[in-house]
Structure 1
Amino acid sequence: MKIALNVTTALGLALAAGATFAPDANAQQVLKIAHILPAGDPRDLGARKLEELIEADDTCDLDVQVYPSGQLGMFNDINEGVQFGSIEMSVMPASYIVGTEPLFGVFDLPFFWPADADKLNELQHGPAMEKLGATMANHNMVLLDVWRTGYKQWTANRPLKALPDYDGLVARVMPSPVLAEQQKALGLTPVTMPFPETYSALQSGAIDAQENPNPTSWNMKFHEVQSHLTMTNHGTLDQVILVNKPFWDGLSDECRTAIEAAMPSANELTFSETMKQEDEAMADFAKAGLTVVELTEEERNALRDAILPTVRQFYVETNGEEGEAIVGAFEAEMED
């Protein structure tokens, strides 16, 4: 209290004397990168790679600071921080952007995206994604990149190979209306909850199932409280890299170039580490006695045909002509 009082008093005296205060023009700009995953997660390693490469670039003087594990808040806090400028950059699943920009729900369409990782990467850096990314300017943000972090699988205490297997189960869902519609189409009851609470909810039986890439399920130790992993490859959980627009626009050309040049290496590292952890996860699942269920092509196609048209229609009806244009643009690129 005494220090605060003295500072306040000094400030008042200075103002009374006609002093002016201005930011130090020579102060180094700070680029804070926030995410909620623990240190060492592939997404964290990608952020660290950005830090390394940007700070090594002699043309750009930025102090890059990575904040993992929700140190700057959870998803909503980080998203609002980037939107309003208290955080410069974020790494987060596209599903958490839907509350800000509903068109990003296209990321959550089930059985929609290419199963080949290279084709997916090409699609995520093509004209349709550029069109989608441009909508973030309406929210004071810029989409810089999309990082691949694996295909989603289901865990439960029974195999989930066909539509009747899902009927009546309660499943955790991220706050995306498209994902909620997907779960309803499967016959699930979707429940939104903070991700850190998912383990205890599965353990207690409050929920029955959850969907995530295997490295995420492994890092969260869901194999300790679930008996079956069904390899559906039904969706992606890819990360969008967003930056505050005024911050981005205020950077020098050299710094924007340095950040853009660092993105491909960070993207590739994130993906390679994800694949490495996929192998480690599957080995640990086997040791833990988790039953891994593989789908035949016919079984996977049957699930796709049962739910994709319904969920696609929901996305278009929710987003109107813009939604139809976005999903149509991605479909056109996939057909080429």
Structure 2
Amino acid sequence: MKKIISLALAVTMAVSLTACGGNSNSAGGQEPKVEEGSGQGADSQGAETISKQTIKITHPQPEGTPEDMAIKTMAEKIEELSDGAIQCEVYPNGQIGSIPESIQSVQMGVTQIAMGPCAIIASYCEDMALMDMPYLLPQDTSVISQVLNDDVGREFLDRLDSVGIHGMAFWFAGFRLMSSNTDINSVDDMKNMKMRIMESNILTSTYKALGAQPIVIAYAETYNALQNGTVDGQENPAQSIYTMNFHEVQKYLVDTYHDAQTHVLMVNGAWWNKQDDATKAIITEAEIAARKVLDEELPGYTQDCIDKMVEAGSIYHALTDEQVKEFKEATSVVYDEFLTTDWRKGYIPRLQEAFDQAVAAKQ
């Protein structure tokens, strides 16, 4: 199946990729196959007849992770609410291809739904990179999903429209821990440290501001790079560090709260726009149910991964408030570098205000 998808991507590669706000004529989208006639599917009120079709859903996480559980919940809910008229094929663990390939497969309409991190989606829509601004998200993780999927977050997701993608929702997947073989307690500890990062201009600038040497290495090649000393450390959510066994070649795990893994659940824009209201309602309801599973499962799963790594010999700690303040001040220059458009200058403060209000409302 992966070879078939890769061939389809190769055929459609001629479609150019544009940043947000670019020429929308380059945003392509093939229609999925939809059987003629009707199934006896219905929307959540049972009032509509849903046309039969098969939806392909892809994500990069291993089976059994909270994201995988959420995606499977979504697929099951879609089939249930449509009375089986809509069937879902789920491809976990990068079976469709690499994360960039899976995002492109959605943009081209080869698959209908995918989940991917904002840092990589930024290759298609530059504004998505802003989700990796250092210390943008509050340490109180309980409000993150709520705010990102409210009106202020919807404005952010709508930036994807210009590249042929409909952003359904933000899926928060936890803060990225820094791992290394020397302890990290201050900005000075970061000096000249070779840190593996995913491709991201903002992450590059963040680590340079901390005095480190950021090096882009593919996710699948990170273990070997850590083992042979090509890099000294890396950043990822606890579950990724554990499932990829990075802790086997790293001694320290540090919660710095500098950045988070925030995914977007995205669908092909042309396909989405062709769906009737009843089908859109089913998929939307299923996504909400899936996100609830992710938000409920993630904290316990994250802690379990940390506990298992500590049991295996890792040393874990979180930065203190004073240490976080030092890191935050050191990386504040990144905001000056990347808040370069009127929309960015206006939007990021509004997003931060929304987070502040949500945190205050809980106190």
Residues 166, 23 of structure 1: alpha-carbon distance in 2 compared, 3 angstrom cutoff: closer
> What is the CA distance between 1:332 and its match in structure 2?
3.0
> What is the CA distance between 1:272 and its match in structure 2?
2.6
Which of residues 236, 244, 267 in structure 2 aligns to 1:212?
Answer: 236
What secondary structure sits across from 2:110 in the alignment? Answer: coil
- Specify the alignment match of 1:322 in structure 2: 343
CA contact (8 A) 2:144 2:355 kept: no
Whether 1:247 aligns to 2:271 is yes
Alignment of 1:226-245 (within 5 A): 226-245=250-269
How many angstroms apart in 1 are the aligned matches of 2:251 and 2:121?
Answer: 31
Question: Which digits, 9 at most, give the CA deviation of each residue in 1:186-235, with x for residues without a partner?
Answer: 11111112101101110111011111111111111111000111121221
Question: Which digits, 9 at most, give the CA deviation of each residue in 1:77-132, with x for residues without a partner?
Answer: 11111111111011111111111111111110111211112221221112221111
RMSD between superposed Cα atoms in Å: 1.7
How many angstroms apart in 2 are the aligned matches of 1:24 and 1:290?
Answer: 53
> What is the CA distance between 1:305 and its match in structure 2?
1.1
Which of residues 310, 317, 327 in structure 2 aligns to 1:303?
Answer: 327
| Counterpart residue identity of residue 128, structure 1 | V
> What is the CA distance between 1:274 and its match in structure 2?
2.1
How many angstroms apart in 2 are the aligned matches of 1:23 and 1:272?
Answer: 34
How many angstroms apart in 2 are the aligned matches of 1:168 and 1:58?
Answer: 55
CA contact (8 A) 1:31 1:64 kept: yes
What secondary structure sits across from 2:173 in the alignment? Answer: coil
What secondary structure sits across from 1:158 in the alignment? Answer: coil
How many angstroms apart in 2 are the aligned matches of 1:328 and 1:231?
Answer: 24
Structure 2 residue ranges without an equivalent (≥5): 1-32, 38-50, 358-363
What secondary structure sits across from 1:198 in the alignment? Answer: helix
- What is the TM-score normalised by the length of structure 2? 0.82
Structure 1 residue ranges without an equivalent (≥5): 1-21
- Specify the alignment match of 1:104 in structure 2: 128
Alignment of 1:134-283 (within 5 A): 134-283=158-307
CA contact (8 A) 1:215 1:274 kept: no
The number of residue pairs the alignment matches comes to 312
- Specify the alignment match of 1:10 in structure 2: none
CA contact (8 A) 2:137 2:259 kept: yes
CA contact (8 A) 1:149 1:213 kept: yes
- Specify the alignment match of 2:6 in structure 1: none
| Counterpart residue identity of residue 43, structure 1 | E
- Specify the alignment match of 1:65 in structure 2: 89
- Specify the alignment match of 2:336 in structure 1: 313
- Specify the alignment match of 2:12 in structure 1: none
Larger radius of gyration: 1
- Specify the alignment match of 2:353 in structure 1: 332
CA contact (8 A) 2:35 2:53 kept: no
What secondary structure sits across from 1:237 in the alignment? Answer: strand
Residues 264, 186 of structure 1: alpha-carbon distance in 2 compared, 3 angstrom cutoff: same
> What is the CA distance between 1:326 and its match in structure 2?
2.2
Question: Which digits, 9 at most, give the CA deviation of each residue in 1:265-311, with x for residues without a partner?
Answer: 2112123322222222122122112112332211111111111x211
The range that moved more, 292-301 or 87-96, is 292-301
| Counterpart residue identity of residue 139, structure 1 | V
CA contact (8 A) 1:60 1:254 kept: no
CA contact (8 A) 1:75 1:96 kept: yes
CA contact (8 A) 2:187 2:327 kept: yes
- Specify the alignment match of 1:17 in structure 2: none
How many angstroms apart in 2 are the aligned matches of 1:23 and 1:144?
Answer: 21
> What is the CA distance between 1:175 and its match in structure 2?
1.5
> What is the CA distance between 1:24 and its match in structure 2?
5.0
| Counterpart residue identity of residue 245, structure 2 | K
Question: Percent same amino acid among aligned pairs?
Answer: 24
| Counterpart residue identity of residue 162, structure 1 | S
Whether 1:84 aligns to 2:108 is yes
How many angstroms apart in 2 are the aligned matches of 1:83 and 1:295?
Answer: 39
How many angstroms apart in 2 are the aligned matches of 1:314 and 1:23?
Answer: 46
- Specify the alignment match of 1:50 in structure 2: 74
> What is the CA distance between 1:59 and its match in structure 2?
6.2
